[in-house]
Structure 1
Amino acid sequence: MDLTDLHVFRTVVESGGITAAANRLHRVQSNVTARIQKLEEDLGTQLFVRVGKRLQITPAGRTLLDYAHRLLVLADEARNAVQTDAPPRGLLTLGTMESTAGVRLPGPLAEYHRRYAEVRVELHTGSPRELMAKVLAGESDAALVAEPVSDARLSSLAVFDEELVLVTVADHPVVRKPADLREASVLAFHPGCPHRERLERWFGQGGREIARTVELASYHVMLGCVAAGMGAALMPRSVLDGYAARSKLREHKLPAPFQRAKTLLVWRKDQPQAKVSALAEILTKRKRVA
């Protein structure tokens, strides 16, 4: 079915006939008639019957009218959703790192929902590499990832500035360099995690090899394992501050090159969208307030 044919069909019904619909659509009557006939051929059913000099819609036509209205409304929504100057609406698929989702996003997303009720948000987590790949493939509208972002196809905006801390069990002595750790065991996310890579560089510059890396998928689990003495972990301080058993842990500051990391909102340069711009505005405003 062609949307133009559905529009003509709906106009004929609303106008009460071919002549009135042709005037309303600024078309000749023969063109309107041809559109209706084409639609009937596509559907294999009669949409109107002539009763005297008037057209009367058939039961099949009345059924189609409801679908035609919904399809045309949906088409308008889709058209508006991809316009950068239109009000945000539709589905926003947002990728994010696990720490950002748990600590940084609840407030901004709540504000986004209040301001843009016509947008549905779908959130998924992953490593920065995975998240950026999904944005580039068109599977996500935007993503929140740790720096650096070097792909020229992506636009980026710094929205969070995280302080990173090394976390150990509470009774561990102060750690200033890798040699200060009792054991060279670390707890981290899978390869590709920027915090894991940062921790590995810190060990490398300190001249000590990591003896064992325990890969985990949750900061909550990671902190529990650190508290149990399984090793050390590097994470945003904002994650540690929200941990219920904070007294069982000790934080250690690392040297400046390893101490801070920016979180960036990224999206495709060639696919700007109003719903992403709206999120960027909220995140930027909250950054200024903070």
Structure 2
Amino acid sequence: MPSSPMEITDLEVFSAIARLGSFNAAAAELRLAAPSVSNRIAGLERRLGTTLFVRGARGSTLTPAGQRLVGYARRCLDLLDQAVHSLDTGTPERLVLAAPNSFAATVFPLAFGALDGLAIAAHGRVAHSREVVEQVRDGSAHGGFLLTQVATGSLRSERLGASPMVAVCRPGHRLLGNPELTPDDLARSALVVYRWDAEGEPLAAVFDHPERRRDTPVHTTGSPEAAIRLAIASDHIAVVPRFATRTFLRAGHACPLPVRLPRWNVELRFVYLAANADNPGIAALLDSLPRLREELCG
């Protein structure tokens, strides 16, 4: 057990070093003397009874104990920032939303749009799905958006819908105009497939055709937006959730390709604490769920 409570400055220094990978860079950012930063971390390590960083010629890296602490430290600092912000009656109320990187680019603009005309300043935070759940549960985020069936425990969960996997390509791609294609028809095409987690690996394996050349492998990515941008800029075909294609299709930057894919769907959900149901921002999002469902899965 720590011999004395951790100070806020300890967490700020620790988080800065973890983010920047350098004691000196953290000292410069926080405008502290380098010896003060070193002394802070040494004192924190003594109180916790463990080593938090390994210092080397190329910078400082987190130990396993430091990796466990970093998420808690950041959430503590986020909560403190929210507490201070909430007491400032001269600023709009703040709403913190979390979402995985693969969903954030699509859902945050829609969520922010639902708050138009309200005195609410939204902050969209990118995190892994399980981190989204943890942040909503501990209060460092008011609500979160999820892509997969992550256990949410005591959180309230609203289903937004299921988004099927689809194929898109750039305008003018040689395969456009075919009435229907199968995965086998793509054996000679460059592919990039969205892989959301281990469950997504079998989908990528569908395209491992015996005729596929070794110099045309199937790429995978956890970012559907990155997959679509690659397809737009080249002859790649992107296999991604339909929700991620909406902006690109409407702008005419990408075209749907009629590939008969296996029935893979990505589940979309909005989660929040029951205690936050009366929060004006959460209430506005709950009222906007029909529109969000239509935009994402309609």
Normalising to structure 2: TM-score of the pair?
Answer: 0.51
1:264 is matched with which residue? Answer: 269
1:275 corresponds to 2:276: no
Specify whether residues 95 and 240 from structure 1 end up closer, same or farther in structure 2 by C-alpha distance, changes over 3 A only: same
Q: State how 1:180-191 maps to structure 2 within 5 Å.
A: 180-183=185-188, 186-188=191-193
User: Conserved in 1, the CA contact under 8 Å of 2:156 and 2:274?
Assistant: yes
CA contact (8 A) 1:131 1:145 kept: yes
251, 256, 261: which one aligns with 1:254: 261
Relative to structure 1, is the Cα distance of residues 108 and 152 closer, same or farther in structure 2, using a 3 angstrom cutoff?
Answer: closer
1:284 aligns with 2:289: yes
Quote the Cα distance in structure 2 between the aligned partners of 1:165 and 1:288: 18
Equivalence for 2:151 = 150
Q: Given that residues 183 and 231 in structure 1 are in contact (C-alpha distance below 8 angstroms), is that contact kept between their aligned partners in structure 2?
A: no
Give the structure 1 partner of residue 126 of structure 2.
125
* 2:34 matched residue in structure 1: none
Q: Deviations over 1:72-125 (max 9, x none)?
A: xx99x65x9xxxxxxxx73211113456544454355234131x31x2210123
Pair 245,207 (structure 1): closer, same or farther in 2 beyond 3 Å: closer
Q: Distance in 1 between matches of 2:149 and 2:127?
A: 16
How much has 1:151 moved relative to structure 2? 2.8
Matches within 5 A, 1:51-62: none
**1:214-273 superposed Cα distances (whole Å, 9 cap, x missing partner):** 547561x432322412453223242442344225x6353423x31x43421112456655
- In structure 2, relative to structure 1, the CA distance for the partners of 1:238 and 1:127 (3 Å cut) is farther
Within a 5 Å distance, the mapping from 1:200-215 to structure 2 comes to 200-204=201-205, 211-215=217-221
Cα deviation code 1:196-229 (max 9, x no counterpart): 844x23344677599442547561x432322412
2:147 maps to amino acid: A
1:225 correspondence with 2:226: no
Provide, for residues 44-82 of structure 1, a one-character-per-residue CA deviation record: whole Å limited to 9, x for no partner: xxxxxxxxxxxxxxxxxxxxxxxxxxxxxx99x65x9xx
Q: Does 1:241 align with 2:279?
A: no
Identify which range, 200-209 or 149-158, moves more after superposition.
200-209
- What is the Cα deviation at residue 156 of structure 1? 0.7
Task: Give the SS at the match of 1:180.
Answer: helix
Equivalent residue number for residue 32 of structure 2: none
Letter matched to residue 148 of structure 1: Q
1:158 partner SS: strand
| Secondary structure of 1:112's aligned partner | coil
User: Greater Rg, structure 1 or structure 2?
Assistant: 1
Shift in alpha-carbon separation, 1:262–1:139, aligned structure 2, 3 A: same
Contact between 1:92 and 1:121, CA under 8 Å: does it hold in 2? yes
Structure 1 residues 16-64: Cα deviation after superposition (integer angstroms, max 9, x where no partner): xxxxxxxxxxxxxxxxxxxxxxxxxxxxxxxxxxxxxxxxxxxxxxxxx
- How far the C-alpha of 1:288 sits from its partner, in A, is 7.6
Q: Distance in 1 between matches of 2:207 and 2:218?
A: 16
**In the alignment, what sits opposite 1:91?**
94
Provide closer, same or farther for how the CA distance between residues 178 and 103 of structure 1 changes in structure 2, counting only shifts above 3 A: same
Question: Contact 1:135 / 1:141 at 8 angstroms: preserved in 2?
Answer: yes
User: Equivalents in 2 of 1:112, 1:232: separation in Å?
Assistant: 32
Amino acid at match of 2:184: A
Distance in structure 2 (CA, Å) of the matches to 1:224 and 1:251: 19
